[in-house]
Structure 1
Amino acid sequence: MSDETLHEARARRNAAWARFNGQKDALRTGLAEKSIPARIKDAAMDRVIDTVDEAKAVAKDNIPVIGGTLALLAAWFFRRPLINLIKNRFGSDEADEDVT
């Protein structure tokens, strides 16, 4: 290699090394300000907040569907007491009619 090409290669190497050191220093500075676990936590919280906001928007657009679903769930949860209530209410009337 000639002296000129060697000099150019060294200049390119030094420039690349300087860029690398600059990026390394920027990374260290960034990590000193906020650690990786804190960054992960913040990113996760941002996603959770976005998901909650999206769920609120969907719920606002579908209030009747949500109300109907909740009513059906409540009816299913209280199905035995409701069935007993209906049997007692209408069963006693049928028993009274049979007696007379």
Structure 2
Amino acid sequence: MSELLERTMRDDRLVRDAARAVVDADIAHLRADLASRSIPTRIKDRISEGAADVLDEAVAVAEDNKGVIATLVGAIVLWFARHPLLDLVSNNESAAERPNAGDR
């Protein structure tokens, strides 16, 4: 029984030592990575990667919904042109209401 216990303890120590070596290597890698890039650089990289992902998704959605995009652009153009269009319509209505010079 004692031999079995010693063998189990030795195997457990080997596994523990191997796990510790992996953790130490991960920590060394993390420290090297942190030392190579500053925090503002990391933030900038993360934001630019996120923006690129959002742009790719927007392009994919736009390609799938061209009619909706065209309708939306048309609605935006009409919204920004609403005042000149309303002035044009109101000028035409007021001209139609005025009596003609030949009718007097």
User: Do these two structures clear the TM 0.5 threshold for a shared fold by scoring above it?
Assistant: yes
- Name the counterpart of 1:41: 44
Alignment CA distance shift 1:43-1:96 (3 Å): same
Alignment CA distance shift 1:59-1:12 (3 Å): closer
* Length-normalised TM-score, structure 2: 0.62
Deviations 1:58-86 (A, max 9, x none): 12332332222222222223323212211
Alignment CA distance shift 1:11-1:60 (3 Å): closer
Total equivalences in the alignment = 99
| Structure 1: runs of 5 or more not aligned | none
- Distance between the aligned counterparts of 2:71 and 2:36, measured in 1? 50
Cα root mean square deviation, aligned: 3.3
- Distance between the aligned counterparts of 1:70 and 1:13, measured in 2? 63
* Length-normalised TM-score, structure 1: 0.64
Determine if the alignment matches structure 1 residue 84 to structure 2 residue 63: no
Alignment CA distance shift 1:30-1:91 (3 Å): same
| Structure 2: runs of 5 or more not aligned | none
- Name the counterpart of 2:26: 23
Percent same amino acid at aligned positions? 37
